[in-house]
Structure formats: C-alpha cells, structure tokens
Amino acid sequence: MNYDFDLFVIGAGSGGVRAARLSAQNGQKVALAEEFRYGGTCVIRGCVPKKLMVYASEFSELFHDANGYGWSIGEYSFSWEKFIVAKDKEINRLENIYSNILTNNNVKHYNSRATLKNYNTVELSTGEVITAKTILIATGGRPFIPNIPGSEYAITSNEIFDLPTKPNNVLIVGGGYIACEFACILNGLGVATTQFYRGDQILRGFDSEVQELVSKEMQNKGINLSLNNDVESISKVADGYIVKDKLNNEIIVDQILYATGRVPNSENIGLEGLDIKTGLKGEIIVDKYSKTNVENIYAIGDVTNRVQLTPVAIVEAVAFVETVYKSNPTMPDHELIATAVFTQPEIGTVGLTEEEALKKCDIEIYSTTFRPMKVILAGRNERMLMKLIVSKESRIILGCHIVGHAAAEMIQLAGVAIKMGATKEDFDKTMAIHPTAAEELVTMNNPTR
C-alpha cells in the first residue's frame, strides 16, 4: 500500500521534533502535527520559562548578599510586566528554532490537532485525512487539578507564566518538585507565599536528608509551609479568593496555583477506537522499544508516563529511530538518571535514596552539611548538603545527593562517574579542587553511619 508518509508524528515537543528530524535525515518522508506551539511543555510552559523565572527570583537574595561583599546597592524593584515581555521574546525565539528544524529537514508540519482514524490514518482538525506507514504519539502531559468546590478558580504551571501582573500573595498546593520550585520563585520575586501539602514532608520520593534540609531552608527564606494540610474549598470574593483548608482555617490570596501532579495527554486522540492499551492515569502502554500493542503505532515522552523529563523523551526518540529505521533495536535507558530541582537552594540527585538503598543491600553513608563560603560574608546561615550512598560489598556509589548553589551543575558531572560504576575509592583518589563546595564529594573519608 502507498502511504502519504513513512512516519506521522503527533506532537511537536522535544521528543516528537527529535524523532521527526532524525527520521527525515535518515531518508524517511515525515509529517508532524501540533495543535498548540512548537517546543512542547519544556520550551513553552515548562523547563525553559521556569528556569528564566528562577534566575529572575534569585536577584533579590543576590542584592542582599552584595552588601556583605562591600557593594552599596541603591533602591531596586522588580517589574513583572517587563520580565514577561523578555521571557516571551526568548520563548518565541526558541519556538521558531523548533519550527525551522522541521522545515530545514523537509518535515511537513501542520498547525492542527491530529487524531487517529485507523491504524494508518490520522485526521486533522482542518478535516484533512493523512495516511502513514508508522505513527508516533508524542502528545506529552498536562497539569492536574482535583475536583473540589471552587477548583475552577485555580491556575496551574501552564498559566503562571502568562499572568499579566504579579500577585501580592499566593497559595501553592502540592509538595512535589514543581510546587516547591514555584513557591521559591514567587517568594523570591516578593510574593507572600503559602504552600499546602497533604503529606508529612515535601518532595516525596527524594532522600529524607534532602527533604528535611530543603524544607527548612524554604521556610527560613519566608515561605509559609503548611504540612498535613490541603484545600477544602475556594470562594471568589472582591479582593481575591478565600481558601478554606482541612484544618478549618481560612486565608485570602490573589492566586491559587495547583501543582498536584500531571496526567498524560491521551484523551480524545482516537486510542479507544483502535484498542490501544492505556493505564490507570491514561498513559499509553508501550514495550521496551516504545511500541504500543498495535504493530505500527509507537509512543514516547510524557504520554507514556515512564519518566517525565525532557531529556528522557529525547533519548526515547533517538531509540525509536534506531529501532524502526536503522535496524538497530534500541531500548531507552531509564536507569541512573541525574535530575535537578530548581528550588532555592537547588537540588541535584542521581541514583538511590538512602531509604531505597537500605532495602537492597548493606550500605555506608557519607554525608556532610555546612555553610558554603558564598553565604558567609553575606551573613546568611544557609546550609549545604553533600551525600554519598555506598554499597559496603562492592564499594560502588549507589546514590549522590546535593543541596545548595550549583547542585544541578555538579550532579550532571557526578552522574557520569556514577553511571560508569564509580566506587567510593575512585572518588577518594580524585584530587579535590579547593576552595569549592564540590570538593566535599571527594574528601568525605569517614562514613557517618
């Protein structure tokens, strides 16, 4: 059978664009459809604008610290409106790059919603019907807001980037990394910030020492963190929103931002009609090569709910092309993924937490907290954490956890060594760079437990 295209990709996020480009470069005839904007969550309303907001929010503390280093800083203020204009300019630039990547590689792209009509056919919202030998679903995910009275008044991480004015006070609901990042961002921008989390401690799934230190430092910086608490109802009033919590307290805020998880964008794209299997959260079930239960239909990225990270979607895209078009069956590697959380202080982590490692083998813990040099003249008492988890038997480093300035940069490099199977003795033999915070990773001689 003759098809219009060899490959049709649904979704122009990082994974979809990478798969389309590499397939086209390999000689396939490729088309792609995107209903919103090119670049996906990461570029448009995720990692990139968030990191720009992190940078913006850090200046309030930097201005304060400068006095301790002899600088005299005059009056300063933050313009939300000016920042939004600058942010939008950069996002538009990046979106154009993504669009041009497709164009320059002869990928036919449609600004349209695409749904599956049958195993080899997609239908666009324009009414156009297109056939393809292989279909790749890369539709990503979206924030989830639970159904409570007044939930229609809440916003998510999608909308926070486009607020026309800065709120004076805000409630963040959630305790995961997205909630904690935005609590730190808004607090740093001068917004009175309250955070509710229904659990005992924020950052569930992270190492307990990381959780405790970041929670303490966030509160020290002025975030009102309310644990074992949640929203009961939201009501609109003239000067904002009244939020009633589970403890029967009420607060009035300008905005309520929910960051209580994300769900795959798998609804209403035709999966049901083709009996494509999905999971409890709507995630598309795929095998180790990203193939669905339908022979010619694949899925990558957040819509599969494997690991919701941009670099993971890109790796899955590369593996898809190797498998389908280069006769080189390749499984994306989801083990030992180094990750960063841009809280303030920020987190870098790779491998097992102490709690996870204890369930697997006998371990040694090398851990230290200290005041980094950077904050001493500034007169701040912020603490930094360096932690290594080591197998007693093999001496292999099972996990590395860093909290503090530049943790994300450090963990990327530490992740290379740990991915290669570095032992504690390999770290010990590495010469320290002084004076740095990172030298602690190679100078912790005695286990703390």
Tell me: do 311 and 189 sit in the same domain.
no
pLDDT at 1 over 90: no
- Other residues' Cβ atoms within 10 Å of the Cβ of residue 13: 33
Tell me: do 118 and 35 sit in the same domain.
yes
Tell me: do 256 and 267 sit in the same domain.
no
Q: State percent of the chain over pLDDT 70.
A: 100
Model confidence at 28, pLDDT cuts 50, 70, 90, reads: very high
Model confidence at 88, pLDDT cuts 50, 70, 90, reads: very high
User: pTM score, two decimals?
Assistant: 0.95
Distance, CA of 83 to CA of 85 (rounded, Å) = 5
Tell me the mean pLDDT in the region 344-363: 97
Tell me: do 302 and 402 sit in the same domain.
no
pLDDT at residue 114 in the model? 97
374: left (phi over 0), alpha (psi -120 to 50) or beta: alpha
pLDDT in tens, 32-87: 999 999 999 999 999 999 999 999 999 999 999 999 999 999 999 999 999 999 99
Tell me the mean pLDDT in the region 21-25: 98
Tell me the mean pLDDT in the region 210-223: 98
Distance, CA of 103 to CA of 44 (rounded, Å) = 19
Counted residue by residue, the chain has a size of: 449
Which stretches of 36-176 are DSSP H helices? 40-45, 47-68, 80-104, 157-160
Instruction: Specify the 3-state DSSP secondary structure of 340.
Output: strand
Tell me: do 267 and 282 sit in the same domain.
yes
Tell me: do 182 and 295 sit in the same domain.
no
Tokens of 377: 């003249």
Instruction: Tell which residue, 311, 256, 307, 302, has the closest CA to residue 283.
Output: 302
Residue 144 near residue 283, CB atoms below 8 Å = no
Instruction: Pick the catalytic residue from 109, 334, 401, 434.
Output: 434
User: 240 lies in which domain range?
Assistant: 151-260
Model confidence at 436, pLDDT cuts 50, 70, 90, reads: very high
pLDDT at residue 91 in the model? 97
Residue 347 near residue 340, CB atoms below 8 Å = yes
Does residue 125 sit within a domain?
A: yes
The mean pLDDT of the chain is 97
pLDDT in tens, 165-210: 999 999 999 999 999 999 999 999 999 999 999 999 999 999 999 9
What is the CATH classification number for the domain harbouring 356?
Answer: 3.30.390.30
Tell me: do 256 and 295 sit in the same domain.
no
Tell me the mean pLDDT in the region 121-138: 97
Query: What DSSP character marks residue 283?
Result: P
What is the CATH classification number for the domain harbouring 175?
Answer: 3.50.50.60
Instruction: Tell which residue, 302, 310, 259, 318, has the closest CA to residue 39.
Output: 310
pLDDT at residue 147 in the model? 94
Tell me the mean pLDDT in the region 272-297: 96
Q: What are phi and psi of 289, to 5 degrees?
A: -110, 15
Tell me the mean pLDDT in the region 89-115: 97
> Does residue 434 carry a catalytic annotation?
yes
Instruction: Specify the 3-state DSSP secondary structure of 202.
Output: coil
What is the bridge-based pairing of β-strands 250-253 and 240-245?
antiparallel
Tell me the mean pLDDT in the region 377-395: 97
What is the number of structural domains in the chain? 3
